């Protein structure tokens, strides 16, 4: 039986490498992984992927809480009180609300360091839960920027005139381009190569959050590329983990030593399930048909789960510890700013269902919080391995002639002393209105 399972696993791994990631000639398989190999290669490429199913603040609550907890543990274990999440990841991908979080955490500040901490991002999200939205209008992140054309919207306040180039590491944010009827991925790697693919982060966030019939029309900084965007969370890539892994494996300029999933460490964070959509097994069936918004969300969550299962299977038994999935079940109800902290803690305390090769799906043995704590220890080990290795495994593209913006006054290669972020609190932003 063991021989059959091993053979089945090898066949399944081959199929996954050919069809899931579009690899050719076995590019996902580069021989057996060993600790010695990882040490010589400078460790694994660290990937952060954040779902964005619904696009609202409630959906971002779990991700923000998990990242805040992760950042706190990283500071403790690395003995660095100003460590940021972006210091421990080489790539970030996010769609919908997850795209906003990823952009915030990887935005480069004037000192060359990540501008926002995960705790600041959590404070902003928690202060928005249950309200109409950050801008006081409808409950749509898509309205945050587009609702105020004079440049005083929330995305404008968060990012100013910063572009994809103004991030400390590669950033991937998907949307759905109605003009081409196909997904489009905003990418820092492309932005560094040409202004034609460089977009302002406020526009990128508006594009990936556009939903419910809203369309965000965005243009590149040189005006040559135009995107008629619908939500990346619901329409294109609700779970961007597979896109991020593919980017790493095929971007040999920035990740020359990543040849298989054994060379990658992934944290994938799912959206927090909303109480208005999730129904327990004993809950009565709705008497009316679901709204288009709820149908879109249910579809997006289903697609996100399919991506999670496929990626988990691709990592398989040999390197299953390289893939960590954080996912919430039914969220506490009702959700509002006053109960946001309690709701986040409840979602972190949940044990969720995970995919296991040849065993279907089972209840996880660890809570989301325990997974986060274990990952923090693993990321610190990777950081130490990176520091000791004579051969770096990441070579992020730098700007030959960096374009200055309100987000930075230094080149992308400049690193200065760490300083605390000066982001105003959500309450102070509200008082400005």
> Which residues are catalytic, by number?
95
User: Taking a C-beta distance cutoff of 8 angstroms, is the pair 202, 156 a contact?
Assistant: yes
Q: Is the dihedral of CA 63, 67, 69, 70 positive or negative?
A: positive
Q: Which of 89, 85, 62, 86 is nearest to 74 (CA)?
A: 85
The span from the first CA to the last CA of the chain, in angstroms, equals: 67
- According to DSSP, the β-strands at 45-50 and 264-269 are parallel
Burial 250-265 (b: 16+ CB within 10 A, else e): ebeebbebbbbbbbbb
Q: Which long-range contacts (CB under 8 A, 24 or more apart) does 281-289 make?
A: none
CA distance 338 to 429: 18
| C-alpha separations of 421 from 186, 199, 366 in Å | 25, 23, 33
Q: Which of 39, 85, 70 is nearest to 387 (CA)?
A: 39
User: Taking a C-beta distance cutoff of 8 angstroms, is the pair 201, 218 a contact?
Assistant: no
């Amino acid at each position: 039986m063991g021989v059959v399972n091993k053979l089945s696993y090898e066949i399944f791994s081959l199929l996954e490498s050919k069809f899931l990631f579009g690899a050719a000639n076995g590019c996902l398989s580069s021989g057996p992984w060993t600790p010695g190999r990882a040490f010589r290669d400078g460790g694994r490429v660290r990937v952060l992927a954040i779902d964005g199913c619904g696009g609202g603040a409630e959906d971002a609550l779990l991700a923000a809480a998990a990242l805040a907890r992760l950042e706190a543990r990283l500071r403790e274990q690395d003995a660095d009180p100003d460590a940021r999440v972006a210091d421990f990841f080489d790539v970030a991908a996010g769609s919908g609300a997850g795209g906003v979080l990823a952009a915030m955490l990887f935005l480069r500040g004037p000192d060359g360091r990540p501008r926002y901490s995960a705790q600041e991002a959590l404070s902003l999200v928690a202060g928005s839960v249950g309200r109409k939205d950050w801008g006081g209008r409808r409950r749509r992140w898509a309205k945050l920027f587009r609702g105020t054309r004079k440049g005083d919207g929330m995305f404008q306040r968060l990012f100013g005139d910063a572009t994809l180039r103004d991030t400390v590491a590669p950033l991937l944010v998907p949307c759905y381009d109605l003009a081409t009827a196909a997904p489009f991925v905003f990418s820092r790697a492309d932005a560094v190569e040409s202004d034609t693919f460089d977009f302002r982060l406020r526009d990128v966030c508006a594009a990936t959050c556009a939903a419910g019939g809203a369309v965000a029309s965005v243009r590149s900084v040189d005006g040559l590329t135009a995107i008629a965007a619908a939500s990346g969370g619901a329409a294109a890539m609700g779970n961007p983990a597979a896109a991020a892994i593919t980017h790493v494996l095929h971007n040999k300029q920035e990740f020359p030593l990543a040849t298989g999933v054994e060379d990658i460490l992934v944290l994938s964070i799912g959206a927090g399930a909303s109480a208005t959509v999730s129904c327990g097994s004993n809950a009565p069936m709705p008497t009316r048909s679901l709204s288009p918004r709820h149908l879109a969300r249910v579809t997006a969550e289903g697609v996100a789960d399919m991506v999670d299962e496929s990626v988990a299977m691709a990592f398989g038994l040999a390197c299953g510890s390289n893939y960590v999935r954080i996912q919430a079940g039914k969220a506490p109800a009702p959700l509002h700013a006053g109960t946001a902290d309690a709701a986040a803690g409840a979602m972190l305390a949940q044990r969720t269902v995970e995919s296991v090769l040849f065993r279907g799906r089972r209840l996880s043995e660890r809570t989301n919080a325990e997974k986060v704590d274990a990952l923090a220890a693993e990321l610190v080990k990777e950081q130490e391995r990176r520091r000791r290795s004579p051969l770096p495994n990441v070579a992020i593209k730098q700007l030959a002639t960096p374009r200055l913006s309100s987000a930075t006054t230094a080149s992308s290669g400049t690193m200065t002393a760490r300083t605390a972020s000066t982001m105003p609190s959500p309450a102070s932003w509200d008082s400005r209105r």
